[in-house]
Structure 1
Amino acid sequence: LDPAQLEAIALGLYVEMLEAGYTSVCEFHYVHHDADGTPYADDATLALALMRAAQRAGIGLTLLPVLYQTSGFGGLPPGDGQRRFIRSTDSMLRLLERLRPLCDAQGARLGLAPHSLRAVPPEGLREALAGLHAIDATAPVHIHIAEQTQEVDGCIAWSGQRPVAWLLDHAPVDAHWCLVHATHMDGDEHRRAAASGAVAGLCPTTEANLGDGIFDLPAWRGAGGAWGVGSDSHICVNAAEELLMLEYSQRLATRQRNVAADAGQPQVATAMTLQALQGGAQASGRAVGGLAVGQQADFSVLDAAHPALAGLDAAGMLSSHVFASHRTSAIDAVWVAGEPRVQAGRHRLHEGASAGFVAARRQLLQDSR
């Protein structure tokens, strides 16, 4: 994977995300170095490729360079296959210093993604967070945590604590944090994590694909927790389908319908959409939480003539969009920062971005044989 291929793949993805209704992406930027693990002459080479792709597509970007240092709890050394990911804490902080003015100039947010407790030792986590906050005290922080029971068991064996409990005891978790997955929490972790103000970053189609388990949404909401959705491994690039999978998994777990609805908002699709919008805006560190004074004008327009939506009122259209329109998209237009990025269901770069993605994919697969 070279910089040009990364940019082509990212552009293809960002165009696809916009057409699917996402207006922002929190980009977990894993790959930092050349194929042999050697840093590029410009250490920000691959980050800049992602920034160019986001700017070309017109998607809102929160760039989250991933800090990855070990291959397991207790400081296990990284494997050879991880050489393109690995960074020292000092190296990461230098990268953040380099990227901060560039992100500001592009209107992007810059944060940090300590990959997980198994990939970043305690000292590295402390130093990275201190350095990040010296650069920007409000920067978003995203971390994978408690995704699988194996991770929970490994954390207990290493520290005597469950992952979320350990994190809350050893890191300054607050409303700028996103706990990605957070699938396996106990009652005390639910209460404490929700009270911290952190957002739960749910990736329902990826979690289903991996067999991670089912997030306890009723317990999280009962504790007052915020949540948003993302595409993670891109098993599915469709914001509405993530909501559908989340609600249906909750129904299977609770054997009840309309789990995400409540007395204040009985329409489940409306309730989920509003909650996901607020949580996603918070997790991205961007003012994109709705059409209101002080917020960026990011919004999607549904096609009222779509077969799944025709004749319905607004609430009915949104319900059908989430639960009944996935064979063909019901999104007609997507606007980002007051600019039309998708019209008549298509991004203006659709053809070129798709062709670039296909060419990069073919070359990578050919080179891997």
Structure 2
Amino acid sequence: MAMMQIRDIEPVVVHVNHRGDWVFLLIHTDTGICGLGEASHSGNDALLLDLLARTKAKLIGQSALNIQALWQQLASLHQGRAGQTLLSGIEMALWDAFGQHAGQPIHALLGGALRQRLRLYANINRHVQDRSPKGFARAAAQAVDEGFTAVKLAPFDELRERNHVRTGPGAAWRPGVERVHAVREAIGPVVELAVDCHSRMEQSEAMIVGRELAGCDLFWYEEPVHHTMHRELAAITRAVPMPTASAESIFGLEAFRPFLEQHVVDALMPDIKHAGGLLETKHIAEAARASQLLIAPHNPSGPVASVASGHVSATLRNFYILEYAWGEVDWRKSLLEPAERIEDGHLVISEAPGLGHRLNMEQVDRHRV
């Protein structure tokens, strides 16, 4: 296979809404092949773009097919979350370029797909601006009408301050519990429901809230405390009457070790944009299989990260469900050519080479930052 050299790495930033932008990366090669990746939600887009400007000179002229060596080179820079998200986006784009070069979809290069359709849950949180119980319920019902069989919300707006009231009739979590009950009522008993706590609780509070939500029949209770608090997470997992999930922000297989060596949570949520990209996510999932853990990739992302997550998830034996950022913008569908295929709440994996999708530059230019 002839070498394919990196000529340039171009960032493309698209404005989405008050919650932030989508950051895409284009890796241009000397063969005319262009790889596409996503590096959104690093927490600091300006820093990420600055790191890209400083880093890409080291990559230009290197072989785009040598993904592992480039990964190692970038990981050794230790540039924090923004650097890890940049690395993950570059790795994604390199796999896309490699797939196009080889004439194969990414899932084939990763060992082949076990499934063509991946079940999604609709994360309604980024869509909902009316944060009342009725506002959440309305959005959840709409997602279900569109064919989604699982929904997630992040209802605990009142827990942003660390010194919030944790117990008694004035507890700050009570409005959040009301929102969850309203959503359960709106979607009925059959549609699955998950709750994301955004690490805003402490251990005893998380246990109380878990018991309060027992009647809502949740498919998981996500990150009530910070992912670094392994002992507390494990205690909450033992105490609450529903499965738990965590690990959306962790980079690299080694950092997942505490979650693999003991039973901290029931489902792991590596995010390909932060965990180190596609292959690292696959390694994490394979390691998790040894501990009988399910993998439910975190993906409140743009369409590029979604289709990339799909390629990896299609190859996993312990895949559970994939996140989908529902209802953020009405033009999402037209951002890719062809559009990401969502049917009956499932993502359909492309059989075309690489990711199987390109950016629609006309639509990009309408929303470019």
TM-score, length of structure 2 as denominator length = 0.43
TM-score, length of structure 1 as denominator length = 0.43
